[in-house]
Structure 1
Amino acid sequence: MSVIPEDPAVAAFVSAVNGGNRDAFYSVLTPDATMSDDGSERDLAVWVDREIFSAGGRMDIETASDEGRSLTAAFTNTTYGTMRTRWAFTVTGGRVSRFETGQA
């Protein structure tokens, strides 16, 4: 069973990813949200489309810490299969303003 992150914005992010709900995903982000993957800055819209929504991305949360803003998850998509990943979120005003991900 997947852990549910304590932070409501992060929980909504995970729910949107797992539900394949692009509108819900973008509604939980600040308009100027940024992200990085394995330490490299990425274009958020391009990365999200390629890694999540066009590839059936799904997060199965294994652990949550830092009040639900740091996660370890099995991330699965049709491009790479399943891999163990880490996620760190910055939440500003109840919305995700930045997330960093990479292999754990």
Structure 2
Amino acid sequence: MWQDKWLPIVLITLLGLLQYRLWFGKNSIPDYLSREQEVKTQAQQNANLAQRNALLNADITDLKVGLEAIEERARNELGLIKQGETFYRILPPETK
């Protein structure tokens, strides 16, 4: 009688162990889903950094090519005023 039932019992036990490993073990489905989310987050960060790098490369090219970019930067960051120019400073209205 036991000789007929040992194979299904062993197979069901193996199936249970494999299911446990699939859902709760190392490299399980929840691990895969969390890694997939991490990959999406990292891909977004990489895209942002690539866009920033493109802007920096454009800035570098502008600075290498012409003096207009250097002059613009000096005006914005250092407050450059050429001789013969009049500087006007517009202040926002005071709030009470």
TM-score by length of 2: 0.23
Structure with more of its chain in strand, by fraction: 1
Query: Which one has a bigger Cα radius of gyration?
Result: 2
Higher relative contact order (CA 8 A, sep 6+): 1
TM-score by length of 1: 0.22
Structure with more of its chain in helix, by fraction: 2
